[in-house]
């Protein structure tokens, strides 16, 4: 079992990172927007790993910290929540927000994530309420704004990879970036996900 992967960041987008290791092997790891925002500007990284091994695929998920990986594993342990849905939840809200929603029984927050219906949101809360504790005040670092067009292009790529339709995503991102050209990629994707 792979516990962590360290190396140079060869490619990075809002949904995945490719890490070149010292042994000459490159790994593609699926990531959340939270991990992506923390990897921006970094040359090398050490990511914690969750392996998903199926008959047809061996997929790696990378996490910048143990808190996010622990929450991901708890979510995929809930019946009806797959790795894609767990990553979507972690991309829509911070780990602290998700923990607080579960602890408070806030199904509305979970239902606002694409692909999470009322039954699944309720199941997440019932299954995890006693296992997941509310997060202490977690502050997120503000990210420096980048050009609106570059943000829109990168955010569009992330939304398409996450399963949203290209045309609808492009429309939402155009509106968001026109209203606030200082948005970061993570902010644009999160706001667009709520609009779609």
Q: What is the pLDDT of residue 139?
A: 38
User: With helix as H, strand as E and coil as C, how does 46-90 read?
Assistant: EEEEEEEECCCCEEEEEECCHHHHHHHHHHHCCCCCCHHHHHHHH
Average of per-residue pLDDT values in the chain: 86
Residues in Cβ contact with 174 at an 8 Å cutoff, skipping those fewer than 6 apart: 152
Here the CATH number for the domain that contains residue 17 is 2.40.50.140
Query: In this structure, what CATH number is given to the domain that contains residue 188?
Result: 1.10.8.10
Check residues 71 and 186 and name the one with the higher pLDDT. Answer: 71
pLDDT at 196 over 70: yes
Q: What is the largest CA-CA distance in the chain?
A: 46
Q: Are residues 48 and 74 in the same domain?
A: no
Domain residue limits at 36:
4-63
Q: If pLDDT is split at 50, 70 and 90, which confidence band does 145 have? A: very low
Both 46 and 81 in one domain: the answer is no
Residue range 20-75, pLDDT digits in tens: 998 889 999 999 988 998 998 899 999 999 999 888 889 999 999 999 999 999 99
Name the more confident of 71 and 168: 71
Residue 147 pLDDT greater than 60, yes or no: no
We report the CATH number of the domain holding residue 80 as 1.10.150.20
Whole-structure pTM value = 0.71
d(CA 98, CA 135): 9
Decide which of 131 and 74 is more confident. Answer: 74
Together in a domain, 93 and 54: no
CA 102/CA 80 separation, integer angstroms: 16
In degrees to the nearest 10, what's the CA dihedral of 23, 29, 35, 36?
100
Distance (Å, whole) CA 162 – CA 75: 17
Residue 136 lies in a domain: no
Specify whether 70 is located in the same domain as 120.
yes
The two tokens of residue 89 are 């939840």
Per-residue pLDDT at 114? 83
Q: How confident is the model at residue 148 (pLDDT cuts 50, 70, 90)?
A: low
Number of domains in the chain: 3
- Let me know whether 57 and 82 are in one domain: no
Same-domain status, 75 and 47: no
């Amino acid at each position: 079992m792979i516990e962590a992967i360290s190396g140079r960041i060869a490619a990075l987008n809002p949904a995945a990172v490719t890490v070149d290791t010292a042994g000459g092997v490159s790994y593609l790891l699926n990531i959340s927007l939270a991990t992506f925002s923390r990897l921006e500007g970094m040359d090398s990284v050490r990511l914690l790993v969750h392996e998903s091994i199926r008959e047809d695929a061996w997929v790696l998920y990378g996490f910048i910290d143990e808190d996010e990986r622990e929450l991901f594993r708890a979510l995929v342990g809930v019946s009806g929540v797959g790795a894609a849905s767990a990553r979507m939840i972690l991309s829509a809200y911070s780990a602290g927000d998700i923990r607080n929603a579960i602890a408070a029984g806030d199904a509305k927050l979970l239902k606002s994530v694409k692909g999470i219906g009322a039954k699944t949101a309720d199941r997440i809360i019932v299954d995890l309420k006693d296992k997941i504790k509310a997060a202490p005040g977690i502050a997120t670092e503000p990210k420096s704004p980048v050009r609106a067009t570059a943000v829109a292009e990168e955010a569009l790529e992330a939304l398409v990879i996450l399963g949203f339709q290209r045309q609808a995503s492009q429309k939402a991102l155009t509106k968001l970036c026109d209203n606030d050209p200082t948005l970061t990629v993570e902010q644009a994707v999160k706001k667009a996900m709520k609009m779609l």
